[in-house]
A and B are shown apart, each in its own frame.
Chain A
């Protein structure tokens, strides 16, 4: 499903080139649950952003289901993100001034889904996450675990094939963290491809495969 070949991502800092990713080769199969581990500054989040179309490669190939994502311009990348990728972030990335319902509804708006259908989809995901009764509340009124459930509900609402989770348990206690992983594993069994960025061995070990990254390079799998 996903192929990365010799992917390089460079930044220019203080007039010096710095490679956040330095020749990454990686294949991810459909329905795989992959963990990406590495120390801080190793390039994990950069890899996630490349996979999610939030950033573009400096050089190399990124092929997603036959589409050369590396050749897409900004407008093409936005469609790629809209139709294929959902994110789950460490700090939940919920909009404080929007209700839980409105947060989960957000990815459905650029897909031009009707209001009635959006409501059905949102409520279904909220019920699945066990927070349907919180629909009219705001994120700050929910616990960390509930907020992360909301973030996952939002990721599922768009029904995209690839779920990218950046330290999804990082802001949660171990109990809630494990609950999150259980949900992600369940989602994976349903056919979604899940990529989890983590520095926690316990979290990584629950995935099908672990990839280690250091200084922008994959060191082992």
Chain B
């Protein structure tokens, strides 16, 4: 029977190829749609994974402005003083609090110079071009444990004294292990009369993720490649006094306390400083951002059904045409002892083979396309692979089955209802 199926495919190779192409186009569009949709929803998972604590107990503190219609303060982070932060650190209801920032600069910027000094051009020359944007992660000691950063050496120390602005504690990526060890003090001279001391406090593995601190204000597409930063072996985390103007202040609270209780605590504290304060739950921010992204990808998902139906109709029409053009072949087979069931089985196998080949090809094509598009912006192959493995492949194969099954129904009914004598052209009146 397999030989007959193969013969049929070869005999009708052009219709087989056209059907595969239709299926590839349809399934590629479906795969791309699913990827875009999941890429946005995946942010929630990534950020959740990047945190050591439940994101329902993590919030961002904003100070001093009226709420927008949506209830968030998107643009103006306001100021929050170190005193307020220190008081929050003393509060039993609060586990961690502090600011995080990602500093960037071009090669001849202050930050880049410091980082170049720290990382040594020779060690890092494979990772950065001269013109490439360099960045480091700056954070308060009090908030470092919020992230799921795995240290391979050293420890997270929330009591680090960062009162001396010229003394900073650094955690380095594993790429620096060749040059430094825990406890090393690195002196960096800057602008002739300023000396920074960087004390190596530990090394981290590249498995960690740092959520985008500006998540509350970011309006660009909230996709998995934009919602977080993946730590690299060449990255640097500097623990120092953060300037809160422009830096995002995060807070983690004890889950024995409700959000309302925490909000009240922060408000009471802010009032003593003649300010008002608002704690925005991270989970809520992310859901809103994901929702924004999903509105667009939601339209894409609606189109998915149209793609599927169109593919089914086209494949069905091709199958029916094939049957009507080959009735004499079916008649000969009937006359030689084949049953309607065996003929329908052959047709079904041909159809499934076609759609499965198309599904595999569409997954390969779309994955390459997405890696090309997205890696032009950032290197997130791991995320792409994950989303494909978890969602896209399954949905694509399911769609292939749906197309096969639905498009085979009418052709099978036609074969079943045709009498053998009609197929052989034997009616004799």
- Check if B7 sits within 8 Å of A43, measured CB to CB: no
Q: Point out the residue from A43, A89, A154, A158 that lies within 8 Å of B428, measured CB to CB.
A: A43
Docked pose: A82 CA to B10 CA in angstroms: 26
**Mask: chain B, 8-20; 1 = CB below 8 Å from A; 0 = not:** 0011000000000
**Which residues of chain A are near B342, meaning CB under 8 Å?**
110
- Check if B332 sits within 8 Å of A78, measured CB to CB: no
Task: Check: A93 CB closer than 8 A to any chain B CB.
Answer: yes
Question: Could you tell me which residues of chain B, from 301 to 345, have a CB within 8 Å of some CB in chain A?
Answer: 328-329, 331-342
Q: Point out the residue from B1, B338, B426, B429 that lies within 8 Å of A13, measured CB to CB.
A: B429
Question: Could you tell me which residues of chain A, from 13 to 34, have a CB within 8 Å of some CB in chain B?
Answer: 13, 18, 20
Task: Check: B421 CB closer than 8 A to any chain A CB.
Answer: yes
**Which residues of chain B are near A109, meaning CB under 8 Å?**
1, 4, 338
Grouping DSSP codes into helix (H, G, I), strand (E, B) and loop, the B interface class, with mixed when no group exceeds half, is helix
Docked pose: A82 CA to B336 CA in angstroms: 6
Docked pose: A75 CA to B338 CA in angstroms: 10
Docked pose: A95 CA to B327 CA in angstroms: 12
Determine which residue in A81, A94, A166 has the highest number of CB atoms from chain B within 10 A of its CB, and name it: A81
A110/B337 contact (C-beta < 8 A), A44-B428, A93-B424 known: yes
- Check if B426 sits within 8 Å of A45, measured CB to CB: yes
Q: Point out the residue from A18, A52, A97 that lies within 8 Å of B335, measured CB to CB.
A: A52
A54/B426 contact (C-beta < 8 A), A78-B338, A158-B337 known: yes
Task: Check: B274 CB closer than 8 A to any chain A CB.
Answer: no
Docked pose: A2 CA to B7 CA in angstroms: 37
A75/B428 contact (C-beta < 8 A), A49-B421, A109-B4 known: no
- Check if B420 sits within 8 Å of A95, measured CB to CB: no
Task: Check: B67 CB closer than 8 A to any chain A CB.
Answer: no
- Check if A95 sits within 8 Å of B332, measured CB to CB: yes
Docked pose: A54 CA to B331 CA in angstroms: 9
Q: Point out the residue from A20, A78, A95, A166 that lies within 8 Å of B337, measured CB to CB.
A: A78
Task: Check: B427 CB closer than 8 A to any chain A CB.
Answer: yes
**Mask: chain A, 29-51; 1 = CB below 8 Å from B; 0 = not:** 00000000000010111101100
Task: Check: B419 CB closer than 8 A to any chain A CB.
Answer: yes
Question: Could you tell me which residues of chain A, from 145 to 201, have a CB within 8 Å of some CB in chain B?
Answer: 154, 158, 166
Determine which residue in B329, B338, B421 has the highest number of CB atoms from chain A within 10 A of its CB, and name it: B421
Docked pose: A97 CA to B326 CA in angstroms: 12
**Which residues of chain A are near B424, meaning CB under 8 Å?**
54, 89, 93
- Check if A55 sits within 8 Å of B421, measured CB to CB: yes
Q: Point out the residue from A20, A83, A93, A97 that lies within 8 Å of B11, measured CB to CB.
A: A97
A46/B427 contact (C-beta < 8 A), A110-B342, A111-B337 known: yes
Docked pose: A111 CA to B342 CA in angstroms: 12
Q: Kindly state the interface size class of chain B when it binds its partner.
A: 20 to 34
- Check if B1 sits within 8 Å of A93, measured CB to CB: no
Q: Point out the residue from B3, B339, B427 that lies within 8 Å of A110, measured CB to CB.
A: B339
**Mask: chain A, 127-145; 1 = CB below 8 Å from B; 0 = not:** 0000000000000000000
**Which residues of chain A are near B4, meaning CB under 8 Å?**
109
Q: Kindly state the interface size class of chain A when it binds its partner.
A: 35 or more
A74/B335 contact (C-beta < 8 A), A55-B419, A109-B4 known: no
Docked pose: A82 CA to B341 CA in angstroms: 14
Question: Could you tell me which residues of chain A, from 41 to 100, have a CB within 8 Å of some CB in chain B?
Answer: 41, 43-46, 48-49, 52, 54-55, 74-75, 78-79, 81-83, 86-87, 89, 93-95, 97-98
- Check if A54 sits within 8 Å of B334, measured CB to CB: yes
Closest to A52 in B: B335
Docked pose: A38 CA to B10 CA in angstroms: 42
**Which residues of chain A are near B427, meaning CB under 8 Å?**
11, 20, 45-46
Docked pose: A46 CA to B428 CA in angstroms: 6
**Mask: chain B, 328-368; 1 = CB below 8 Å from A; 0 = not:** 11011111111111100000000000000000000000000
A93/B426 contact (C-beta < 8 A), A54-B420, A55-B419, A107-B337 known: no
**Which residues of chain A are near B333, meaning CB under 8 Å?**
106
A81/B335 contact (C-beta < 8 A), A54-B421, A74-B340, A109-B4 known: yes
**Which residues of chain B are near A93, meaning CB under 8 Å?**
328, 331-332, 335, 424
Query: What's the least CB distance linking B342 to chain A, in Å?
Result: 7
- Check if A110 sits within 8 Å of B429, measured CB to CB: no
The 10 closest A-B pairs by CB, nearest first: A82-B337, A45-B428, A78-B339, A107-B336, A110-B337, A55-B421, A97-B11, A54-B420, A54-B421, A87-B335
B contact residues vs A (CB 8 Å cutoff): 1, 3-4, 7, 10-11, 328-329, 331-342, 419-421, 424, 426-429
Known: A45-B428, A78-B334. 19 other contacts (CB 8 A): A11-B427, A13-B429, A18-B429, A41-B429, A45-B427, A52-B335, A54-B335, A55-B426, A78-B338, A78-B340, A87-B335, A87-B336, A89-B424, A97-B7, A106-B332, A109-B4, A110-B336, A110-B342, A158-B337
